Amino acid sequence: MRRWARALVWLGLLCTAGCKSEFFIDQGQLENIQGVTFVIKAPHLFIKKAFKLHDPSLSPAQLTQISDAMPAIAAFTHAMLRDPNDVDTPLILPMDVRALRPLMHQPSQTTLFVNTIQNWKVRPGNIEFTIDYFYGNAKGEFVNFRDNYAFELTPAGWVFSNHPRSKAEGLLSCTASAKGWRVCDTAKP
Amino acid sequence: MQMCTQEQTRLVYGGGLLDFFKFDTGITDGVREDGRSLGAGCGTVKSDAFVPDMLFGIDVSQACFQHDQSYDTCGFDRRLADATLMTNIRGDCNAQGGNFLTCNVIAGVYGVSVALLGASAFKQAQAQSCQ
């Protein structure tokens, strides 16, 4: 009996100290992938978490480039997600970036989120990728949308250069994988 | 006689009871199976291996990811973020074929969890995002 009481007290202490502070607060992490370190920390912590980096097709040299460009891509994505009419935080996006909400037939105040940044094509000084955005509709269902981007390395650092494809991939359709996870991809023609 | 794996059986006969008891964190060997970083989806970098992203066969990771990003948006209302988590889990669960009871149980579990344990996480995320 005493042993159970001790175990309960220990669990209670662990939960008070551990669960409340460390366990459920996310301050990010340093992630090592094929010997390349990624700083997954604020600012834009959860955008950085959306980077799909565990991709066997990426070499360490390519991962190094993505690691260098990560802060710039995350800041760019953050700007894409924001309400373009928000007067408190003026947009810092280049003029030739496709506006998302008109493509998604959504008003400017629709809150957008990022799901996955992936489909990397990395060449020296140039990175292409796609961003999967989403929003929750009135029924609580998710609408997923993909667009493509290219970044290039300039003397000022990594900056958006262009859209590799003339059109966004558009709305994604989602199906359950063999293991039951939802996988969203462009609708097959 | 041909032997089938659980995945192959699921493809032929659907999930059924097997899916109902499926709980999964989406972590294998310390790495998320979707290729993203630990903490994307339900749970944080430290709790990702213990907090399920799949409950009763329903993938709730996207609802969790929206909730995380809402907390991490400067000025976002916490009550709205928590309420939206529950709405999204219900809606997304229905879209994945979950029944009324299952969807409400999952939404309730996550809703109560963030209401009880989310305060410090919200405070921290707001401090980070409003810098």
Under the banding of pLDDT at 50, 70 and 90, the label for residue B87 is very high
Answer whether A181's CB lies under 8 Å from B54's CB.
Answer: yes
Strand segments (E) across A62-188: 113-123, 126-136, 142-154, 157-162, 170-176, 182-186
User: In this prediction, what percent of chain B has a pLDDT beyond 70?
Assistant: 84
Answer whether A124's CB lies under 8 Å from A107's CB.
Answer: no
Question: C-alpha A1: how far from its chain's center?
Answer: 49
Selecting from A22, A46, A50 the residue whose C-beta is nearest the C-beta of B46 gives: A22
Disruptive mutation site among A16, A20, A25 for chain B (greatest number of B CBs within 10 Å):
A25
Please confirm whether the linkage preceding A43 is cis (ω < 30° from 0): yes
Give the residue on B whose Cα is nearest the Cα of A79. Answer: B73
* A29-81 pLDDT, tens digit each: 999 999 999 999 999 999 999 999 999 999 999 999 999 999 999 999 999 99
Selecting from B33, B95, B117 the residue whose C-beta is nearest the C-beta of A20 gives: B117
Answer yes or no: do B90 and A140 touch at CB < 8 A. yes
Taking the CA of residue B1 and the nearest CA in chain A, the distance in Å comes to 22
A91: buried, middle or exposed (CB in 10 Å: 19+, 13-18, 0-12)?
A: middle
Disruptive mutation site among B13, B34, B37 for chain A (greatest number of A CBs within 10 Å):
B37
Q: Does A96 touch chain B (CB under 8 A)?
A: no
Answer yes or no: do B10 and A114 touch at CB < 8 A. no
- pTM for this predicted structure: 0.86
C-alpha span between B67 and B22 (Å, rounded)? 22
Answer yes or no: do B131 and A31 touch at CB < 8 A. no
Give the residue on B whose Cα is nearest the Cα of A179. Answer: B7
Answer yes or no: do A181 and B88 touch at CB < 8 A. no
How far is CA A33 from each of CA A37, A67, A175, B36, B43, rounded to the nearest angstrom?
6, 10, 28, 11, 21
Mean pLDDT of all residues in B41-60? 88
Token couple for B67: 């909730």
Give the residue on A whose Cα is nearest the Cα of B122. Answer: A25
Answer whether A51's CB lies under 8 Å from B35's CB.
Answer: no
Q: What is the ipTM of this complex?
A: 0.85
Cβ-Cβ contacts under 8 Å, A28 against chain B = 39, 45
pLDDT of residue B41: 86
**Per-residue pLDDT of chain A in tens (189 residues, 90 and over written 9):** 566 666 565 555 445 544 555 677 888 999 999 999 999 999 999 999 999 999 999 999 999 999 999 999 999 999 999 887 776 665 677 888 999 999 999 998 899 999 999 999 999 999 999 999 999 988 888 999 999 999 999 999 999 999 999 999 999 999 998 888 899 999 765
Answer whether B124's CB lies under 8 Å from A25's CB.
Answer: yes
Range 10-69 of A in CB contact (< 8 A) with B: 19-29, 31, 38, 40, 42-43, 45-55
Q: Strands B31-32, B27-28: parallel, antiparallel or unpaired by DSSP?
A: antiparallel
Domain boundaries, chain B: 21-129
C-alpha span between A29 and A39 (Å, rounded)? 6
Give the residue on B whose Cα is nearest the Cα of A116. Answer: B36
Answer whether A140's CB lies under 8 Å from B91's CB.
Answer: yes
Cβ-Cβ contacts under 8 Å, B120 against chain A = 20-21, 24-25
Q: Does A78 touch chain B (CB under 8 A)?
A: no
Q: What is the largest CA-CA distance in chain B?
A: 64
Q: Which residue has the higher pLDDT, B80 or B32?
A: B80
